[in-house]
Amino acid sequence: MLKDCQKLILAPLAGYTDYPFRLLARENGADEVVTELVSANAIVRNNKKTLQIMRLYENERPASIQIFGSDPVVMGEAAVIAEQYSPLFIDINMGCPVRKVRSNGAGSALLDRPDIAGKIVKSVVDSVKKTPVSVKIRTGKSSENKSGLVVALLAEEFGATRITVHARTVLDGFNGPVDYDFVADLKKKVKVEVIGNGGITSLEQARTWLETGCDGLMIGRGAVGRPSIFHAIRAGMETFPPEKVETVIRHIDLVEQHLGQKGMGPMRAHLVYYSKGFGNAKSFRREVLAARSFAEWRTVVTEYMEVNAENYAAGALEGDFPSEMDRMEVANG
């Protein structure tokens, strides 16, 4: 189903796609990964936390860095710094619908300002020495305003070599209908790579996406609690099996090793989503939230997943993602 040249990519998700999860995705079949989105303003101010987010390890590559901002000059300066980390792409976020990003004229707000969007792409392309530049967009602000096409064409004109489309409008957020026709039309109009993103939680949805002619799929929410989704899609699995206990324990180990206690908050959120599809999930979530150590989590996960494996319902992974992630905000701006 999936051609060798068609990529499966882990999407950037603020608060979720840290190094441990990116590495886990690579180990489970993702061809590429992307960092959490990082603020260009924070980069040029040499914000310690932001610079740490951009750090890339050899065993997770190929990996890209996604930046966001509204000032073409600052975005160019940030790209120069980001290039020092040797990313696969420097990706420009022009699709984030979160209020904190939009209110500063960045993210999906740039779909309303194609002129500024074009200047940002040109500035980033002109500023880097050799790293290719990609752009991540949405279809537009609303179904009546599909300005994403204009921005995509400008991005190609000014030197971007890949365009990723979250095929929903800004107003639809993360739960609206996916506009496959928009991507199919864009693919006919540009020569650069087009990557499809949005609503991919099953093999059927992946197949529908590939019918657009896109060059690959980017998966974000569908991979949280399900890092093996990349392997499952590549293998053509009609029904996804439950996540392996070993995979979840591996995730816990990576977080403890690389993030320590500061990683317990993000890991707690991941563990909640690992229970999706299993029976007696409320009890598991209570134990996860009550645990105060990585060792406790290992015990809880092992006992719970082994006991409830027979009650696993693959279909529970399909459809809209839990609303908690709709309230996700960028923490490094």
**Do residue 56 and residue 78 come from a single domain?**
yes
268 and 148 in one domain?
Answer: no
pLDDT in tens, the chain (333 residues): 677 779 999 999 999 999 999 999 999 999 999 999 999 999 999 999 999 999 999 999 999 999 999 999 999 999 999 999 999 999 999 999 999 999 999 999 999 999 999 999 999 999 999 999 999 999 999 988 899 999 999 999 999 999 999 999 999 998 899 999 999 999 999 999 999 999 999 999 999 999 999 999 999 999 999 999 999 999 999 888 888 999 999 999 999 999 999 999 999 999 999 988 787 888 899 999 999 999 999 999 999 888 876 766 654 444 334 444 433 333 333
Give the domain CATH number at 41.
3.20.20.70
Cα atoms in the 13 Å half-sphere on the side-chain side of 270: 31
**CA–CA–CA angle 293, 252, 249 (5° rounding):** 115
CATH code, domain carrying 272: 1.10.1200
Q: Which of 240, 257, 279 is the last residue of a domain?
A: 240
- Looking at the fold, whether 55 and 76 belong to one and the same domain comes out as yes
CA distance 44 to 50: 10
Cis peptide leading into 266, omega within 30 of 0? no
- Quote the pLDDT of residue 306: 81
- Give how many domains the chain has, as a whole number: 2
**pLDDT at 265 (0 to 100):** 94
H or E element in which residue 53 lies = helix 48-54
**d(C-alpha 186, C-alpha 172), whole Å:** 20
Domain end: 217, 240, 263, which one? 240
Same domain, 152 and 260: no
Report if residue 273 sits inside a domain: yes
Clarify whether 5 is annotated catalytic: no
Q: What is the residue range of 250's domain? A: 245-311
Q: What per-residue confidence (pLDDT) applies to 240?
A: 85
135 inside domain: yes
Contacts of 322 (CB under 8 A, 6+ apart): 273, 276
In a domain, 292, yes or no: yes
Give Cα 187 distance to the centre of its chain.
21
Residue 298, helix vs strand vs coil: helix
Distances (CA, A) of 42 to 13, 22, 36: 18, 22, 13
If asked whether residues 209 and 307 sit together in one domain, one would say no
Say yes or no: 175 and 63 in one domain. yes
All residues at 6 or more sequence positions from 46 whose CB lies less than 8 Å from its CB, including other chains? none
83 belongs to a structural domain: yes
Please indicate, yes or no, if residue 324 is contained in any of the structural domains. no
Residues 52 and 102 in one domain: yes
What pLDDT, on a 0 to 100 scale, did the predictor assign at position 239? 84
Comparing CA positions, the residue from 75, 82, 76 lying closest to residue 107 is 75
Mark whether 108 and 198 lie in a shared domain. Answer: yes
Contact 9, 219 (CB under 8 A): yes
Given the residues 8, 9, 37, 96, the one annotated as active site? 96
What's residue 326's pLDDT? 37
Distance of CA 303 to the CA centre of its chain: 30
The answer to whether position 328 is within a domain reads no
Residue 333 lies in a domain: no
Return the pLDDT at 91: 98
Shared domain for 133 and 211, answered yes or no, is: yes
116 in Cβ contact with 72 (< 8 Å): yes
Residues 193 and 278 in one domain: no
Residue finishing a domain among 240, 273, 289? 240
Q: Return the pLDDT at 17.
A: 97
One domain, residues 103 and 126 = yes
Residue 69 belongs to a domain: yes
| Whole-number Å distance between alpha carbons of 117 and 168 | 19
Residues 91 and 194 in one domain: yes
